[in-house]
């Protein structure tokens, strides 16, 4: 018997199983013998088993859709079986960050569970129950660490209370430890008497959840899992054996396989088509037209096109080859990214809409002895997760069920319900493992297509597979940008004025009529939050309308902003004959929390969605990571000819990262990176092992962004098709040794993000290192692997 969460197979396998909460009757327990023993919920702990009151703080999690849901409630998140097996719900999508493991680890640690007896169950999209499930913005730990600690601590206290009732002693004499509750003597020493969690499960789960003011969490020196980095990720063994279940691995009885032909140009439509030849391909069973979005803004509506349904993926692919389609390319048919880049640069040369103003920058520039000015260019990027987009759908008895590698299962569920005209309770979205996400799988167009296709097939189960070229050419792309940085420098070599112009098509064009201007979320990513101690500052945004779908990409606008700002600082330092690291520290200035008001930040300043008072921009933390990374990397050491170090630092997602890249330039100009050192201060941290893996991965993705990758458009269509022409870092050219130093957080510094913050400082650190090694300054990404 499993108390409080019941798992039931949802068609195929555990990874895709749905869950429901068993409605255990409390009455049976309250009337029983244990209740008569008069246990108390207001637990009074003796000093011998002191724990800490939970010092709660507000986060932006409460402002997200459905906030924290019932994440604090053990009845919703935890089940304990008679034999002591513990099941913990994991409600965020796993795309490689380890969050599927790390959040349950928090629960298990707080409740004193033996990790080897814990199994996980992936929550389907159900935010009212589990809390917000948008796995993006590096905010899973940032927003749910408190709820998960609370949930685990409540479970522990419920187990202790149940033991106290069974033993008829004060709860203060009961202490949970490693899957048992131990009976203590009056001195707080263990008596040797204990009860296992399994025996206590039923009575503990029948108790109400202790109120917040009665909850005590473990002090850090008592952690068994948190901050240790010793527990492996939950899916490790399955992954190494090919048993882990990703989107395309779902198998349902009678399932069809499908691919789609989509318009090459965003907003294109099918003008006419001839499916006769396609339908003659052996195995092809049907061709269906799927309507694309009717008008801009397109949101996450499908691009539309023709779906070829077959008895195997290969037959569907052959069917697609045989299909004849005439397209109407629509209003974006002339999009040419080379011409567009020229337009962006022209716009960046002119004043734009003022987003931040501090002091009198016009006067500072008028009085300057020297002016530094440079433009930094960045291309569109495709997330290009190794797992191309895919989804499975089936509709049976008026109920739709989806399986998909999706970062936002509840948003997808709402739109599926609307598209199929079903009540939301009749739609289930199961979350498989994601074979990488990087932001693309926050956009559920691929799920809507599949659901609509299943409906056209009378509800038949269907797997709709995107090919690599579909994934590459029908994306939601990282924006392309020109960032202009200007500095007014006085006769003492001090920077008195700062001007930053950003020109880039905005993600907001996905959701609202496109004004050509960006919105607070993009302004908050390394633009208006510039942390330098410069008296006169102006941040301006020039207009740039979108001609393709613009979407999230790991660390988003921070990529071009950090590249521009941190390259410019190094350039200005060298122009003034200064050491780049010392100059950077001097620009950041005294230790302080930046005051958004006196710094001229906009009223609607976006601080990664979190309250500024709790997650301020702290210059001491930024300077600290710079010093730590520089010391570890041996900043200032003499290197052979053709080698150099570059440094960059950036705060994003409430986390501070400094990166030092070591470049070796070959005689032919080939760039190699033998070593990268990063220092990261993400505040309170849980799983250092996964932090290191994220930082190692961020360096590799940073290298791809900086040197190799770029999406270009001609006649409205993407020019890249596959990894042959959209290059990413490989085993032959990745940064060979990435060292990560996790800075011990100061007391009271809250958990920040980890999935994204490692990416932004890499490209400028690399560009600065290339300059140090070769004397060549590269202001345009991708830089190419040869200078």
Partner 1 sequence: MPTLTINGESQDFNGDPETPLLWHLRDALSLTGTKYGCGSGVCGACTIHLDGLAVRSCITTVAEADGKDITTIEGLSPDGDHPVQKAWRELSVPQCGFCQAGQIMQAAALLARNQAPSDVEIVEEMSGNLCRCGCYQRIHEAIRLAAGGV
Provide the binding-site residues for partner 1, judged by CB under 8 A.
Answer: 94-98, 232-233, 235-237, 239-246, 248-249, 251, 257, 282, 312-314, 384-388, 433-438, 465, 467-468, 689, 693-694, 696-701, 722-724, 728-732, 734-738
* In the complex, least distance from residue 702 CB atom to partner 1, rounded to whole angstroms: 9
The shares of helix, strand and coil residues in the chain, as percent rounded to the nearest 5, are 30, 25, 45
Show the tokens assigned to 225: 């899992």
Q: Which is nearer to partner 1, 241 or 294 (CB)?
A: 241
Q: Which is nearer to partner 1, 44 or 240 (CB)?
A: 240
* In the complex, least distance from residue 715 CB atom to partner 1, rounded to whole angstroms: 23
* In the complex, least distance from residue 383 CB atom to partner 1, rounded to whole angstroms: 8
Q: Which is nearer to partner 1, 503 or 699 (CB)?
A: 699
Distance from C-alpha of 482 to C-alpha of 345, rounded to nearest angstrom: 6
Would you say 225 and 108 are in contact if contact means Cβ atoms under 8 Å apart? yes
* In the complex, least distance from residue 248 CB atom to partner 1, rounded to whole angstroms: 6
- Total Cβ atoms within 10 A of residue 598: 9
Count of alpha carbons within 13 Å of 528, Cβ hemisphere only?
A: 29
Distance from C-alpha of 438 to C-alpha of 559, rounded to nearest angstrom: 13
Q: Is 456 exposed, middle or buried (0-12, 13-18, 19+ CB in 10 A)?
A: middle
Q: Which is nearer to partner 1, 204 or 676 (CB)?
A: 676
Beta strand residue intervals within 346-389, DSSP E: 353-358, 370-378
Distance from C-alpha of 676 to C-alpha of 661, rounded to nearest angstrom: 5
Q: Residue 204 CA to chain centroid, in angstroms?
A: 35
Q: Which is nearer to partner 1, 388 or 560 (CB)?
A: 388
* In the complex, least distance from residue 724 CB atom to partner 1, rounded to whole angstroms: 5
Q: Which is nearer to partner 1, 449 or 540 (CB)?
A: 449
Closest CA to 484 of 500, 471, 496, 468: 500
Q: What is the CA radius of gyration of the chain?
A: 28
DSSP 3-state of 399: strand
Would you say 749 and 142 are in contact if contact means Cβ atoms under 8 Å apart? no
Q: Which is nearer to partner 1, 237 or 271 (CB)?
A: 237
Q: Which is nearer to partner 1, 249 or 285 (CB)?
A: 249
Q: Which is nearer to partner 1, 303 or 700 (CB)?
A: 700
* In the complex, least distance from residue 468 CB atom to partner 1, rounded to whole angstroms: 4
Q: Which is nearer to partner 1, 112 or 249 (CB)?
A: 249
Residue 671 has what DSSP assignment? Answer: E
Distance from C-alpha of 607 to C-alpha of 223, rounded to nearest angstrom: 30
Q: For residue 180, give every residue at least 6 positions away whose Cβ sits within 8 Å of its Cβ, in sequence order, or none.
A: 194, 195, 196, 197
Distance from C-alpha of 564 to C-alpha of 778, rounded to nearest angstrom: 11
Q: Which is nearer to partner 1, 92 or 500 (CB)?
A: 92
* In the complex, least distance from residue 486 CB atom to partner 1, rounded to whole angstroms: 34
* In the complex, least distance from residue 318 CB atom to partner 1, rounded to whole angstroms: 9
Q: Which is nearer to partner 1, 302 or 435 (CB)?
A: 435
- Please provide residue 221's backbone torsions phi and psi, each rounded to the nearest 5 degrees: -70, -10
Q: Where are the alpha helices (DSSP H) in 634-672?
A: none
* In the complex, least distance from residue 554 CB atom to partner 1, rounded to whole angstroms: 10
Would you say 156 and 94 are in contact if contact means Cβ atoms under 8 Å apart? no
Cross-strand bridge partners of residue 656: 651, 681
Distance from C-alpha of 512 to C-alpha of 774, rounded to nearest angstrom: 45
Residue 751 has what DSSP assignment? Answer: P
Q: Which is nearer to partner 1, 47 or 242 (CB)?
A: 242
* In the complex, least distance from residue 286 CB atom to partner 1, rounded to whole angstroms: 17
Q: Which is nearer to partner 1, 488 or 673 (CB)?
A: 673
Would you say 621 and 722 are in contact if contact means Cβ atoms under 8 Å apart? no
First-to-last C-alpha distance (Å) of the chain:
65
Q: Which is nearer to partner 1, 405 or 560 (CB)?
A: 405
| Rounded to 5°, angle at Cα 16 from 12 and 21 | 110
Q: For residue 87, give every residue at least 6 positions away whose Cβ sits within 8 Å of its Cβ, in sequence order, or none.
A: 2, 5, 7, 78, 79, 80, 81, 118, 119, 120, 121
Show the tokens assigned to 336: 């040419």
* In the complex, least distance from residue 578 CB atom to partner 1, rounded to whole angstroms: 33
Show the tokens assigned to 570: 């190094």
* In the complex, least distance from residue 323 CB atom to partner 1, rounded to whole angstroms: 17
Distance from C-alpha of 175 to C-alpha of 775, rounded to nearest angstrom: 64
* In the complex, least distance from residue 609 CB atom to partner 1, rounded to whole angstroms: 24
- Total Cβ atoms within 10 A of residue 253: 8
- Total Cβ atoms within 10 A of residue 217: 21
Angstrom CA distances, 412 to 27, 66, 127, 211, 457, stand at: 38, 15, 12, 34, 20
* In the complex, least distance from residue 678 CB atom to partner 1, rounded to whole angstroms: 13
* In the complex, least distance from residue 765 CB atom to partner 1, rounded to whole angstroms: 16
| Rounded to 5°, angle at Cα 101 from 95 and 107 | 140
* In the complex, least distance from residue 675 CB atom to partner 1, rounded to whole angstroms: 11
- Please provide residue 247's backbone torsions phi and psi, each rounded to the nearest 5 degrees: -55, -45
Q: Which is nearer to partner 1, 45 or 721 (CB)?
A: 721
Distance from C-alpha of 105 to C-alpha of 599, rounded to nearest angstrom: 40
Q: Which is nearer to partner 1, 533 or 689 (CB)?
A: 689
Peptide bond into 573 cis (omega under 30): no
* In the complex, least distance from residue 695 CB atom to partner 1, rounded to whole angstroms: 10
Please give the torsion angle defined by the CA atoms of residues 134, 137, 141 and 142, in that order, rounded to the nearest 10 degrees. -120
Q: Which is nearer to partner 1, 435 or 764 (CB)?
A: 435
* In the complex, least distance from residue 469 CB atom to partner 1, rounded to whole angstroms: 8
Place of tokens 């009085």: 367
């Amino acid at each position: 018997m499993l108390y409080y969460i019941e798992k039931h197979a949802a068609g195929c396998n555990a990874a895709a199983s749905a869950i429901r909460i068993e409605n255990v009757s409390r009455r049976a327990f309250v009337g029983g013998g244990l209740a008569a023993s008069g246990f108390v919920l207001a637990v009074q702990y003796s000093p011998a088993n002191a724990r800490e009151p939970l010092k709660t703080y507000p986060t932006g999690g409460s402002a997200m859709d459905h906030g924290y849901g019932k994440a604090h409630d053990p009845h919703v998140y935890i089940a304990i079986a008679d034999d002591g097996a513990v099941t913990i719900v994991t409600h965020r999508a796993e795309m490689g960050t380890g969050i599927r493991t790390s959040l349950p680890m928090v629960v298990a640690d707080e409740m004193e569970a033996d990790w080897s007896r814990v199994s996980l169950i992936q929550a389907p999209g159900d935010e009212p129950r589990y809390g917000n499930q948008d796995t993006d913005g590096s905010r899973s730990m940032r927003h749910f660490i408190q709820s998960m600690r609370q949930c685990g601590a409540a479970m522990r206290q419920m187990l202790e209370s149940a033991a106290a009732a069974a033993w008829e002693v004060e709860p203060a004499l009961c202490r949970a430890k490693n899957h048992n509750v131990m009976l203590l003597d009056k001195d707080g020493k263990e008596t040797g008497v204990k009860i296992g969690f399994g025996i206590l499960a039923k009575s503990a789960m029948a108790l109400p959840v202790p109120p917040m003011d009665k909850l005590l969490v473990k002090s850090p020196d008592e952690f068994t899992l948190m901050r240790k980095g010793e527990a492996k990720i939950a899916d490790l063994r399955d992954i190494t054996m090919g048993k882990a279940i990703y989107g395309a691995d779902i198998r349902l009885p009678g399932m069809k396989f499908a691919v789609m032909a989509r318009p090459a140009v965003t907003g294109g439509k099918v003008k006419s088509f001839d499916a006769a030849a396609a339908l003659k391909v052996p195995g092809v069973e049907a061709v269906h037209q799927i309507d694309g979005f009717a008008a801009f803004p397109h949101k996450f509506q499908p691009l539309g096109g023709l779906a070829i349904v077959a008895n195997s993926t290969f037959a569907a692919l052959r069917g697609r080859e045989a299909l004849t389609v005439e397209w109407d390319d629509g209003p974006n048919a002339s999009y040419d990214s080379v011409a567009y880049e020229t337009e962006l640069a022209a716009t960046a040369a002119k004043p734009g809409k003022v987003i931040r103003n501090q002091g009198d920058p016009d006067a500072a520039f008028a009085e300057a002895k020297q002016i530094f000015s440079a433009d930094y260019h960045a291309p569109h990027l495709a997330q290009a997760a190794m797992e191309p987009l895919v989804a499975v759908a089936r509709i049976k008895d008026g109920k739709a069920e989806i399986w998909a590698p999706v970062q936002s299962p509840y948003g997808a569920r709402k739109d599926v319900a609307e598209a199929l005209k079903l009540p939301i309770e009749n739609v289930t979205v199961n979350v498989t493992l994601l074979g990488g996400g990087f932001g693309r799988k926050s956009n559920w167009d691929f799920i809507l297509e599949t659901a609509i296709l299943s409906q056209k097939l009378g509800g038949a189960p269907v797997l709709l597979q995107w090919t690599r070229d579909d994934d590459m050419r029908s994306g939601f792309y990282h924006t392309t940008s020109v960032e202009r940085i200007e500095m007014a420098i006085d006769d003492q070599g001090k920077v008195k004025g700062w001007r930053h112009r950003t020109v880039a098509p905005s993600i907001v064009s996905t959701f609202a009529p496109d004004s050509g201007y960006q919105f607070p979320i993009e302004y908050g990513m390394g633009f208006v939050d510039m942390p330098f101690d410069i008296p006169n500052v102006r941040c301006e945004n020039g207009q740039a309308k979108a001609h393709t779908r613009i979407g999230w990409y790991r660390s988003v606008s921070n990529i071009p902003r950090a590249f521009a700002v941190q390259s410019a600082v190094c350039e200005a330092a060298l122009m003034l004959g200064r050491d780049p690291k010392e100059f950077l520290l001097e620009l950041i200035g005294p230790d302080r929390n930046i005051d958004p008001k006196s710094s001229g930040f906009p009223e609607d300043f976006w601080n990664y969605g979190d309250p500024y008072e709790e997650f301020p921009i702290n210059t001491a933390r930024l300077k600290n990571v710079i010093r730590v990374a520089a010391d570890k990397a041996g900043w200032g050491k003499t290197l052979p000819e053709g080698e150099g170090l570059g440094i960059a630092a950036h705060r994003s997602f409430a986390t501070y990262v400094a990166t030092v890249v070591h470049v070796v330039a070959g005689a032919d100009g080939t760039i190699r990176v033998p070593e990268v050192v990063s220092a990261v201060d993400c505040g309170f941290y849980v799983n250092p092992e996964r932090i290191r893996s994220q930082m190692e991965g961020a360096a590799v993705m940073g290298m791809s962004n900086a040197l190799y990758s770029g999406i270009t458009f001609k006649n409205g269509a993407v020019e890249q098709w596959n990894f042959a022409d959209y290059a990413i870092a490989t085993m032959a050219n990745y940064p060979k040794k990435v060292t990560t130093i996790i800075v011990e957080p100061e007391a009271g510094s809250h958990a920040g993000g980890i999935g994204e913050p490692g990416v932004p400082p890499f490209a400028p650190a690399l560009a600065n290192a290339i300059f140090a090694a070769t004397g060549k300054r590269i202001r345009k990404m991708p830089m190419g692997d040869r200078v």
